[in-house]
Amino acid sequence: MDFLPADLNKYKELLLQTFKAFALFCNGNDIHFYAAGGTMIGAVRHHGFIPWDDDVDVYMKRPDFDRFISCRNQLCGTAYEIIDPSNEGYYCAMAKFSHRNSTIWEFQSIPFVLGAYIDIFVLDYEDGPYDMVVQQRMNYSKKVDFFYVCSNSYPFKKICQQLIRGHLKMCLWYISQRLFMKSIHQFLVKSILRHSSKEQGEWLVAYTGTSGDKDIFRAEWFSDSVSFPFEDTCVDVPVGYDEFLTAMYGDYMTLPPIEQQSSHHALFYYNINRRLTKDEIDKLQIEG
């Protein structure tokens, strides 16, 4: 499902509020971040959200991210929280800064509920030939994919359906996934919480990114930052933003075709005004 047209603007207002709270939290703890992906395009091209976009993505270099996670207890009793793979049931490799008083349930098969959120992608320094760094990034992405698969909760009804259809291999996979999901998940959490010991290098790699070998950047692009307006606030982008966006998207200043101007995020259920539990949402679904 997508946001209802009347709700999309309200959600963007909530998301902007969450982003401002995130920036205030980071500034108060000497944590630096950069706009990432579509948020960077939005800042440079629109000075705000891309009109059809409904998320905020940021990058943090590893030392800043470690400080970010270490400060999470400061958010106790506030309207916000930090979520990362160490949270039970969470299914993403990246961390999120989430609003406690709203509801987002993305995938029906993964019963994890959070609020309006900011995605935080870590940048790790790497050295060596580009092809070697690409291979490291690809090997890591396999762990991330497996982590996501192990977060799915396949009901026994689906297992029986596969058995009836004669899909024995798929049936056995679903059964083993249910039996061993927790132990596999715990192993993968340790594996994907990657920490590079390098303090500098030729490359910066967003290992938790979603763009494959395009998640490998020249470190010099992030040697400094410049500020751009973003709605009624500002956001830093890397000083090499033009090289970054050209490498990632090509002619980023030209709008895509109208048929591509839509959000690409999953959304099973949402409530902008309050946080609901999975059981409360299930009850609402049953009641129609």
Whether the predicted pLDDT of 178 surpasses 50? yes
3-state secondary structure of 206: coil
Q: Are 149 and 129 in contact (CB under 8 A)?
A: no
pLDDT level of residue 129 (50, 70, 90 thresholds)? very high
- Separation of alpha carbons 81 and 192, rounded Å: 21
**The two three-digit tokens of residue 82, written as one number:** 């930090």
| pTM given for the model | 0.86
DSSP code of 213? G
Q: Which pLDDT does position 120 carry in this prediction?
A: 97
3-state secondary structure of 3: coil
Would you list the DSSP string of 180-223? Answer: HHHHHHHHHHHHHS-----S--SEEE-TT-SSGGGGEEEGGGGS
Calculate the CA 212 to chain-centre distance. Answer: 14
Tracing tokens 């470190």 back to the chain, one arrives at 219
Contact residues for 166 (Cβ-Cβ < 8 A; gap 6+): none
Question: Which of 257, 246, 261 is closest to 41 using CA atoms?
Answer: 246
**Average pLDDT over all residues of the chain:** 86
pLDDT level of residue 181 (50, 70, 90 thresholds)? low
What are the residues facing 56 on neighbouring strands?
Answer: 118
Whether the predicted pLDDT of 257 surpasses 50? yes
Greater confidence (272 vs 111) lies with 272
pLDDT level of residue 197 (50, 70, 90 thresholds)? confident
Q: Tell me: the pLDDT tens digits for 15-28?
A: 999 999 999 999 99
pLDDT level of residue 146 (50, 70, 90 thresholds)? confident
Answer positive or negative: Cα dihedral of 248, 250, 255, 260: negative
Greater confidence (188 vs 83) lies with 83
- Separation of alpha carbons 219 and 233, rounded Å: 27
Question: Which of 14, 56, 5 is closest to 230 using CA atoms?
Answer: 56
Whether the predicted pLDDT of 159 surpasses 50? no
**Inter-axis angle of helices 156-164 and 168-192, to 10 degrees?**
140
Mean pLDDT within 220-239: 97
Whether the predicted pLDDT of 252 surpasses 60? yes
Whether the predicted pLDDT of 142 surpasses 90? no
Question: Which of 34, 39, 41, 36 is closest to 250 using CA atoms?
Answer: 41
Paired sense of beta strands 225-230 and 216-218, if any: unpaired
Question: Which of 89, 94, 97, 93 is closest to 71 using CA atoms?
Answer: 97
3-state secondary structure of 92: coil
Q: Which pLDDT does position 107 carry in this prediction?
A: 87
Whether the predicted pLDDT of 221 surpasses 70? yes
Q: Tell me: the pLDDT tens digits for 12-70?
A: 999 999 999 999 999 999 999 999 999 999 999 999 999 988 899 999 999 999 999 99
Whether the predicted pLDDT of 156 surpasses 50? no
Q: Which pLDDT does position 196 carry in this prediction?
A: 67
